[in-house]
Amino acid sequence: SYQRLKDSVAMITGASSGIGKAIAIEMAREGASVVINYHKTSEGAEDALAQIEAFGGKGIIVKADVSKEEDVKQMFDKTLEAFGKLDILVNNSGRQVDAPFLEMTLDEWEAVISTNLTSQFICSNLAARQFVKQAEANPSQEANAIGKIICMSSVHDMIPWAGHVNYAASKGGVLMFMKSIAQELAPLKIRVNAISPGAIKTPINKEVWSDPEKMPALMDLIPYKRIGKPEDVAKLAVWLSSDESDYITGEAIYIDGGMMLYPEFADNG
């Protein structure tokens, strides 16, 4: 059957768990060879690769801390060694280190900014250079993009979040980073977009969805009345990196069951 990412190579950061893992599997299903990045433990990455190989897909596993330039460089080297090129980068890695603002330390601030924001600079910078190098080496008559970058943001690139100011600031930064490089790279035919999820059921927010007492309050924020699945986001990531979305760049797509619709203003009476 038709595969929307056939013959492309996709690097997904933080692909050993949650949303990144689902994206790696879905992109491989659509024909991409995938680079499955993990940071600390490889189990989740190995499970993703096993699932991919079970349906005949291709992938490699690469350990890297995406906030470290040297780590990212070796991840790109391994990608080119294995697959000879890169077409799609998904900047997915992210973390929360929560604290009330009055107690937040500089270390807690920097831990989140470096993993969520600086990592997207490091990876996108190397990816864009690689896309340009490939296009120069192999000029084609293709009308479509020569490379695609997807930045994982959050509804908190717009919604302020008390107790999580490092996280919200990092995602606000991702949004303007994405738009600014999209503006700069569009003439080179590189598309850059963001995905801004609401509440997706992954390990990052387990303390909310595993607690029956916290779920009603979460549902008050979601007009569509269900928590998101990693697969919801993975399907959007596939479409956004395929030629079906070739005229879209610089856009942040909110995938949130309506969380951005100010549900507290709905007339419930």
User: Whole-angstrom Cα distance, residue 228 to residue 223?
Assistant: 12
Q: Which one among 14, 57, 147, 173 touches ligand NAD, defined by CB under 6 A?
A: 14
Contact between 252 and 172 under an 8 Å Cβ cutoff? The reply is no
* Nearest to ligand NAD of 76, 134 (CB atom): 76
Q: Which one among 5, 11, 17, 173 touches ligand NAD, defined by CB under 6 A?
A: 17
Task: Report residue 199 as tokens.
Answer: 């509440």
Closest distance to ligand NAD from the beta carbon of 44 (Å): 7
CA-wise closest residue to 98 among 112, 115, 118, 117:
112
93 binds ligand NAD (CB under 6 A): yes
Helix, strand, coil share (%) of the chain residues, nearest 5 = 50, 15, 35
Closest distance to ligand NAD from the beta carbon of 199 (Å): 5
Closest distance to ligand NAD from the beta carbon of 127 (Å): 15
Compute how many residues bind ligand NAD; rule: CB under 6 A: 26
Residue of 38, 167, 254, 262 with catalytic role: 167
20 binds ligand NAD (CB under 6 A): yes
Contact between 36 and 42 under an 8 Å Cβ cutoff? The reply is no
Closest distance to ligand NAD from the beta carbon of 215 (Å): 14
Going through the chain in order, the beta strands assigned E by DSSP cover 9-12, 33-38, 58-63, 88-91, 147-152, 190-197, 252-255
Q: Where does this chain touch ligand NAD (CB under 6 A) — which range of 134-142, 181-189, 197-205, 235-243?
A: 197-205
Residues 103-122 that bind ligand NAD (CB under 6 A): 115
* Nearest to ligand NAD of 3, 205 (CB atom): 205
Q: How many CB atoms lie within 10 A of CB 127?
A: 25
The DSSP code sequence of 48-108 is HHHHHHHTT-EEEEEE--TT-HHHHHHHHHHHHHHHS---EEEE---------GGG--HHH
* Nearest to ligand NAD of 188, 217 (CB atom): 217
Contact between 150 and 193 under an 8 Å Cβ cutoff? The reply is yes
* Nearest to ligand NAD of 145, 199 (CB atom): 199
* Unique residue bearing structure tokens 């079970």: 54
Binding mask 45-84 for ligand NAD (x = CB under 6 A): --------------------xxx-----------------
The verdict on whether 224 is a catalytic residue reads: no
Task: Report residue 52 as tokens.
Answer: 């991919």
Active site residues: 167
Query: Residue numbers of the site for ligand NAD (CB under 6 A)?
Result: 13-14, 16-20, 38-39, 65-67, 92-95, 115, 152, 154, 197, 199-200, 202-205
